[in-house]
Structure 1
Amino acid sequence: MKPYWNGFLLNVQFFSAVPVRRELPVDAVHLRAALRMFPLFGLTKGIIYGAFFLLLIEWSPLSPLGSAFLFWLLPILWTGGLHLDGWIDTSDAFFSYRDRSRRLEILKDPRVGAFGVLSLIVLLAARFLFIYEIFLFGNSQVVYFIILIPFYSQMITGLLLNGVAPAKQEGIAYFFQQGKDSRLAAGYGFWTIVIAVLFFVWTKSLLSLLLLAFLAYLFFLFARRGALKHFGGITGDLLGASLEGAEGCLWMILWLLVSIGMA
């Protein structure tokens, strides 16, 4: 079990702002374990999000607007803006409408362009809208759906890492792909089934669960196609953008489900 524990800590170290004050092995065995632990890492993040949501909606004296703002800050604080940086760089590169090689150069450029700024504003504003209205019209039962959002988005990241060739022979995507696993999709499928059973037992809402899972899978196909078509493969920035995009889309679906009374 030690490689899996170290793999989980590698995920915390590379994909969150939580400090891990120890030297971790980064050989192929531990990187493979890290990829296999992506669902548990996403589930852990989801439970933290869910607990904070429950605290705010049940016991906070703040208004829905104030509670939504505090919750909106949580993912930013959790990652330290790491994935948002990938979203900005990917937006600048994609909307440059250049060829692949030039887009990859833009990804490495530390400067922020207008498209990156605009896309960040749209992403964060849309997410705040979704969260605010969920606080306004939702209830404590929504917590189960909130837990699923990081769970699915983290698995999307893992599938992209494992199944899409790197666009360049350097960076975090290339680094993690040293642990590629031919059985990863089957392992993620097992995680999905277990969580689906538990979710159904707790909520009796199978249709909403299937809808979230189906749209998460569609987003994976969309992100995979976009990475290959426009960049020739996956990079760390594209992974960050995919995770932010997946969470944004799933927040939108949850907002719609709350709006029509299905969650």
Structure 2
Amino acid sequence: MGALRSLIICFAVFSKIPMPYIDWEKKDMKYIFCFLPLVGVVMGALFIGLNLLAQRFNVPETAFGIISFAVAMLLVNGGIHMDGFMDTIDALSSHKSRDDKIRILDDPHTGAFAIIYAIFYVLITAYILGTVDNLAEAVYMAIVFVFTRALVGIVAMSEDLAKNSGMLYTFVSSANKFVTAVICVVWLIASISVMEILAPVRSIITLGVVFIFVMLFQNMNRKHFGGISGDLMGFFICVVEFICFLIMGIGDFIC
């Protein structure tokens, strides 16, 4: 029953899929990150479905890219990760002290740098998604949503927190870290295995680049924020997804 309640809380927070109302108790938050990759499964299934429809009805690439980004990447999760991405860009662009950067993460206002980076992110990602014209590539892109959320669960369980408050603090402090880490590793191995089958060379390159980014991300957290926060996790998911999509998109040039 506790696992089911963790599933409900996970989807209530990280997606816009309607969930039954329940009271949030600490014992019900032990396994939230175990189910986060399932949100990626829903996003991926939607993307595959949209891709099949686009091919069936000859939808133009640009239109499909915009629609798939809006539905699979924004409508399902409500833009919660993009919000974290933009807040992190604002904080890093401020070049202020650590405490000021943490305050900027909580600031509801949006700065110019966040808007510029978000526009760039949306345009490039939507363009790449729009170029997917076969089922194998569509499944690969869909698996990326699972891969990133499994990876973020592992990072969340292993990194120090930037502050002793906020949603991420509540979830991480309530989590069964060992069980969560093990299940997220299983999700990660499964998603990597599928990626390797579908695009061996590009997936190896992707894993190498993502590994480098994870190292840089950890250093950035410790240097600029003193640890991780919910916004930084949103930033992490957005950047890892972008890396995966970008390498897949330009694979014809590097493979």
1:12 is displaced (CA, Å) by 1.0
Identity %: 21
Instruction: Tell me whether 1:245 sits opposite 2:244 in the alignment.
Output: no
Matched ranges for 1:1-263 at <5 A = 2-28=1-27, 30-56=28-54, 58-74=55-71, 75-132=73-130, 134-135=131-132, 138-178=133-173, 179-197=175-193, 203=198, 205-257=199-251, 259-260=252-253
Alpha-carbon RMSD:
2.3
| Cα deviation digits, residues 49-79 of structure 1 (max 9, x gap) | 22222222x2124222222221121211112
Q: Cα deviation per residue 1:177-232 (whole Å; 9 max; x = unaligned)? A: 1215135444333333334455566x4x4333333344333333332222122111
Residue 96 of structure 1: CA displacement?
Answer: 0.5
Cα contact 1:92–1:113 (8 A) shared by 2 = yes
Q: Deviations over 1:30-61 (max 9, x none)?
A: 322112223333233322222222222x2124
d(CA) in 1 for partners of 2:204 and 2:184?
Answer: 15
Residue 162 of structure 1 contacts residue 177 of structure 1 at CA under 8 Å; is this kept in 2? yes
Alignment partners' CA distance in 2, 1:256 and 1:76:
23
Structure 1 residue 146 displacement after superposition: 1.1
Q: Residue 212 of structure 2 aligns to a residue in which SS?
A: helix
> What is the TM-score with the length of structure 2 in the denominator?
0.88
CA contact (8 A) 1:166 1:233 kept: yes
Task: Give SS of 2:177's match.
Answer: coil
Q: Aligned partners of 2:241, 2:176: CA distance in 1, in Å?
A: 24
Cα distance, 1:122 vs structure 2: 1.5
Structure 1 pair 172–261 and aligned structure 2 pair: CA distance change class (3 A): same
Residue 115 of structure 1: CA displacement? 1.3
Q: Which amino acid aligns with 1:142?
A: E
Distance (whole Å) between structure 1 residues aligned to residue 192 and residue 111 of structure 2:
41
Q: Deviations over 1:141-200 (max 9, x none)?
A: 212211221111112221222111111111111011121513544433333333445556
Distance in 1 of aligned mates of 2:176 and 2:100: 28
* In 1, Cα distance between equivalents of 2:126 and 2:224: 29
- Provide TM-score, normalisation by structure 1: 0.86
Give how far 1:23 is off: 0.7
